[in-house]
Chain A
Amino acid sequence: MDTSPILSIFLPVIFAVFLASFTLYIVRIVKGPTVFDMALAVDCLAFDLAVFIALLSLYYDTPFLIAGAIALALWAYILDLYISKYFLTKELGGHK
């Protein structure tokens, strides 16, 4: 069935909510007193951006945007692991 008439009303409302929460996360990234707060906010921002891209691919009827969502879901985890490893050992596995 053709869902575009319903989605063209429903999705912009959801986009507004997501953009508001992006703004709040960016406030925490800019203000964040420590690196860990910034990393946590970047984490949430990346996961939400993945959802936003998936919703955009529904809105614009194109399947090519969804590949970006999977990559966005992965790199925030790598950022977490590198930051926590650096703060625990003060090195990242290079030459000492």
Chain B
Amino acid sequence: MLEPLEYMILALGMVLVAIGAFCDLAGALGMVRFPNFFVRLHAATVGSIGGAVIPLIGVALIASVSDQLGFFKWAISGGALVAALIILLVAPAGSHALAYSAHKSRAVPVEPKVCDLLEEHERAKAQRKVGEKGEEA
């Protein structure tokens, strides 16, 4: 009775997995081709959200209609959903922490660049601090 609905869920899951595979390949190509670390962050986010969260949701959908797995289909489905949720929360936080410390510690040259507003802001703040010290003395 539920056959058409199950076919739809299976097709949706397969489409999500295919989109994920494409995003993953695009992210990997960008990771190799892009010129510096801060541009590669963009490719990394495509590769981790588009290439990991979306196919994991697709795996959860596919597993939930695969009766050849028996009762364990719910284990695969739930595990894939939990892994997707964890990656969705964790990947942006991790790449943001990396970007913050890479810029703050000046371990990565920002090259090639058009302008670096964060660096200009920090320099202006440092100059203001030096000026205030000079007035006190």
Contacts and interface: CB of A to CB of B under 8 A. Distances in A.
A83 B37 contact: no
A3 B7 CA distance: 9
B73 to A, nearest CB: 8
B124 interface: no
Contact of A17 (B6, B21, B41, B83): B21
B76 interface: yes
Contacts of A50: 52, 56, 83, 87
Interface of A: 1-4, 6-7, 10, 14, 17-18, 20-22, 24-25, 27-28, 34-37, 39-41, 43-44, 47-48, 50-51, 54-55, 57-58, 61-63, 66-67, 69-70, 73-74, 76-77, 80-81, 83-85, 87-88
Contact of A54 (B47, B72, B76): B76
A4 B107 contact: no
B32 interface: yes
Interface of B: 3, 6-7, 10, 14, 17-18, 20-22, 24-25, 27-29, 31-32, 37, 40-41, 44, 47-48, 51-52, 55-56, 59, 62-63, 65-69, 72, 75-76, 79-80, 82-83, 86-87, 90-91, 93-95, 97-98, 100-102, 104-105, 107-108
B75 A70 contact: no
B47 A34 contact: no
Given A80-B97, A87-B107, A44 B10 contact: no
Nearest to B73: A63
Q: Chain B interface mostly helix, strand, loop or mixed?
A: helix
B83 A44 contact: no
Contacts of A36: 37, 98, 102, 107-108
Given A40-B41, A58-B62, A70 B82 contact: yes
A44 B55 contact: no
The 6 lowest CB-CB distance pairs between A and B, nearest first, are A80-B94, A84-B101, A66-B79, A21-B28, A24-B28, A63-B72
Nearest to A67: B79
Nearest to B10: A3
